[in-house]
Structure 1
């Protein structure tokens, strides 16, 4: 397929797709054995690699769940949650204790204040001999220092409710006050210790024989010095107690009552070095903090960099039920769904079990940084059938599983590896992707129009009609057919963008060009000012971009026409790898783009001379009201393909492109187009991936 042509305005141009920074190696992993389970990271703090955090997770299921630990000896089940019962989980890390009060309304008001800040709160209820008290915490934090730094912020936010109390840093160091036969006995002992003025809590521990037992822990010190002082004070006031250090090598849950959600629920706070909590038993565990989605398999909880980490562990093939349904519509034909299933399986198997996994405790994550994974809600009979029909099938190249990356829409031609990461890989090459046009099938076209005021924008074809009249320059005129028809800044309906203008029947506009609706196949972004681009470019280039940006040109393209070099004012914008241009320029859908400078154009005359036309130039304006010579906004020029452009008063840069995503490997819309044309899934895969075989493990 020929690369789509784009009007050339300022030097050579074409148009332009999201791989996570530095994530794909474009190589293969030797096939060892089929993967039975996969670990999907949902909440983790891995710094710049992946960061999605929450103070606590709220879990429930339509079936009974068990709560225990994941140890080298296997999974334990210590307590049960009934069907429909909600419980919350967090980790025993550094935090700030904000206040303790018997006034629930005050505690709740302070909670709401903190909930609007970055210092996320948790509100516990605790029984004392004098009645119920409420303990408000903020956090969690990676270190004692970061928790200490938060004290001032927390104090300011909750100042109206402190009533003389001083927020203080707390941590995971505790003193054991003995073991008890039941939870009730442990609660009673904790209440008596509280009466002496010490924090005490019940801890669910796993005995060496695997059974459960309840202990009473005193305090939550942030460091050894505080712990030693606490122990001396407890020994002095309560000499009858037999105190010992908590064995940090044994996993435990501090059992608390959580009232953060407006109701009392059990809260299990994971404690212990390298402890891993394990919640299992249901086939639909709901995670409230993940948009209340439900997931197959089990949930593993641990502490990573002082933050709660939540990993969904489930059968590999069941993971694909949700991935395929999350990546493409379930209404697509069976062959397109099968192609997606094999690509997704290959990609996930490449990642699973890798000793060098960049996600540390997980094989993949649940976002498009890996593959879209939205749980059971993404499943459907057609998707399950496609996954089952291809069970175990993966793409192989030179005896290795292919890291089968894919994107939404290649824009008519897939990417070459050098256009994405400056690297190769013989399973990937630029190929035609005619099926991508399936994304615009049935969509309305849009008119790019010039208004009498000199402003320009877009109106959808079903809201206007051509009048049969033309300007002196040969451009068609239209009138609208509906009252208050919006003239949009881009050829798409945007609820968050004000219209350029409104037109009514009888009012005229000049047609500059007719374009496809901006979407996954073709798109328009901008215009962006120099200031907006400079802000977006910050941190994306090795050398600071020139300021202000006066010219912006694509100066090199790869085999598919994607931008591999862009210059601003003649200076190369030295991004680490070409696909980074997408985020560098305000989040473009792809790198298959052309840049149109809206405030000026370089005009090439028939005799080869060039001249620069700007919005301040005195030239002919072809507007809806006729033709005249003016200065400023509304200037129009036309290229040899009869495509016109309006020169805006201010300098700006429009990006006009095709495709959505990095464009490497399988194009999802291209696969749909091929499947609709009668191709089988293996033909589709072998078109987009080179030198591959499909094997069943």
Structure 2
């Protein structure tokens, strides 16, 4: 999950409604997404030969929703030959594409950059494959419920922000991981079903429900990661249970030859030193200076992490020193650090905190609400 944009949103917020799961507020989606609550998931760009299968039969509809093929069990076509969108509807509600099975429908849409493949899936069915893709299904029930509500709130916000765009989310950590039917598990399905329709609001709007693996003891403000405005419900929050996680601390090394390659575009020549110049309240690095034989360059912490790579530089809570064969890094946490720490939620759940207390800890000031249609 990464950066966000702000759009003016108008919502109807109803109070003193039915109580479901101890949540008394209700929220009605605006007309832009009210009718269907269908998530448009970007599955990628197809090859010249596209194949879709199902355990049963398909119906195929054109851009005007007129049926153009019926009762077929395999669809093979050249997507680059399409002049307009087609929608493929499996009778079983499940289709196979590119080695994975998905719920809902598949849409192939021509764009100026070539055809794209979308999965059109009802919101709650979408979550069945997101929660186990983002959090181990063996984790405590209350942590899984917290994850389900985070995932639901996140995607609803994306749906509202991207009404006039081609799709809402993709299948990767750029949005939230969506592994399809084969990732589903009874324990995570139970967490989704028992929190059905529950989301987080602030100021009558769904919040930006960012989450990450491990905060390293304290979460981060979004403006320090992606820029933009601060959000009152995303602050520096202590996350004490992170320290019990297997990924709380880490170390890695940038070889000298790799450093020269990674920072080649900075134009400072052979890298001689890398220095941390500043940290914020959460002790994450704000500014780095790289010193080379031809000069030096200052780089913002988030940009430095992008250059080095998120796999090697697991978080911005790190120190770095020069050694005989490269630059040794040692740090805490895993991920951008904004919002819910998944390992923090795991620890809280094991210590008998319920999902409501977990979420209110990581998103202070937010309110839980039930979505009504």
Give the TM-score normalised by structure 2. Answer: 0.85
Is the Cα–Cα contact under 8 Å of residues 416 and 559 in structure 1 kept in the other structure?
no
Q: Which has the higher helix share?
A: 2
User: 1:691 deviation in Å?
Assistant: 1.6
Is the Cα–Cα contact under 8 Å of residues 435 and 669 in structure 1 kept in the other structure?
yes
Alignment of 1:99-118 (within 5 A): none
Change (3 A) 1:30 1:434: farther
The partner residue of 1:525 within 252, 277, 280 is 252
CA distance in 1, matches of 2:60, 2:39: 20
Q: Residue 79 of structure 1 corresponds to which residue in structure 2? A: 70
Query: Per-residue displacement from partner, 1:114-143 (whole Å, max 9, x unpaired)?
Result: xxxxxxxxxxxxxxxxxxxxxxxxxxxxxx
CA distance in 1, matches of 2:7, 2:302: 18
Query: Per-residue displacement from partner, 1:13-35 (whole Å, max 9, x unpaired)?
Result: xxxxxx54xx3237885446445
CA distance in 2, matches of 1:573, 1:75: 58
Matched, 1:283 2:93: yes
CA distance in 2, matches of 1:75, 1:378: 33
Query: Per-residue displacement from partner, 1:435-476 (whole Å, max 9, x unpaired)?
Result: 223422xxxxxxxxxxxxxxxxxxxxxxxxxxxxxxxxxxxx
CA distance in 2, matches of 1:668, 1:91: 39
Is the Cα–Cα contact under 8 Å of residues 239 and 341 in structure 2 kept in the other structure?
yes
Alignment of 1:134-173 (within 5 A): none
Q: Residue 328 of structure 1 corresponds to which residue in structure 2? A: 135
User: 1:538 deviation in Å?
Assistant: 5.1
Change (3 A) 1:432 1:27: farther
Is the Cα–Cα contact under 8 Å of residues 323 and 373 in structure 1 kept in the other structure?
yes
Q: Residue 40 of structure 2 corresponds to which residue in structure 1? A: 39
Is the Cα–Cα contact under 8 Å of residues 27 and 425 in structure 1 kept in the other structure?
no
Q: Residue 67 of structure 1 corresponds to which residue in structure 2? A: 60
Q: Residue 305 of structure 2 corresponds to which residue in structure 1? A: 582
Q: Residue 118 of structure 2 corresponds to which residue in structure 1? A: 311
The partner residue of 1:595 within 320, 334, 338 is 320
Change (3 A) 1:672 1:355: closer
Instruction: Extract unaligned runs of 5+ from structure 1.
Output: 1-18, 45-52, 94-270, 441-519, 599-647
Equivalent pairs counted in the alignment come to 344
Change (3 A) 1:323 1:586: closer
User: 1:43 deviation in Å?
Assistant: 1.4
The partner residue of 1:383 within 180, 188, 193 is 188
Matched, 1:689 2:369: no
Matched, 1:403 2:130: no
Q: Residue 345 of structure 1 corresponds to which residue in structure 2? A: 152
Is the Cα–Cα contact under 8 Å of residues 70 and 76 in structure 1 kept in the other structure?
no
Q: Secondary structure at the match of 1:574?
A: strand
Query: Per-residue displacement from partner, 1:274-301 (whole Å, max 9, x unpaired)?
Result: 33343332222011x2xx1111100011
Q: Secondary structure at the match of 2:110?
A: strand
Alignment of 1:613-628 (within 5 A): none
CA distance in 1, matches of 2:8, 2:141: 27
Matched, 1:568 2:290: yes
User: 1:338 deviation in Å?
Assistant: 0.6
Give the TM-score normalised by structure 1. Answer: 0.47
Is the Cα–Cα contact under 8 Å of residues 56 and 308 in structure 1 kept in the other structure?
no
Change (3 A) 1:314 1:356: closer
Q: Secondary structure at the match of 2:348?
A: helix
CA distance in 2, matches of 1:28, 1:435: 36
CA distance in 2, matches of 1:60, 1:527: 45
Is the Cα–Cα contact under 8 Å of residues 75 and 278 in structure 1 kept in the other structure?
no
Query: Per-residue displacement from partner, 1:195-228 (whole Å, max 9, x unpaired)?
Result: xxxxxxxxxxxxxxxxxxxxxxxxxxxxxxxxxx
Change (3 A) 1:66 1:666: same
User: 1:428 deviation in Å?
Assistant: 0.5
CA distance in 1, matches of 2:53, 2:117: 14
Max radius of gyration: which structure?
Answer: 1
Change (3 A) 1:28 1:410: farther
Instruction: Extract unaligned runs of 5+ from structure 2.
Output: 13-27
Query: Per-residue displacement from partner, 1:164-203 (whole Å, max 9, x unpaired)?
Result: xxxxxxxxxxxxxxxxxxxxxxxxxxxxxxxxxxxxxxxx
User: 1:389 deviation in Å?
Assistant: 1.2
CA RMSD of aligned residues (A): 2.2
Is the Cα–Cα contact under 8 Å of residues 211 and 342 in structure 2 kept in the other structure?
yes
The partner residue of 1:413 within 218, 227, 230 is 218
Change (3 A) 1:538 1:296: farther
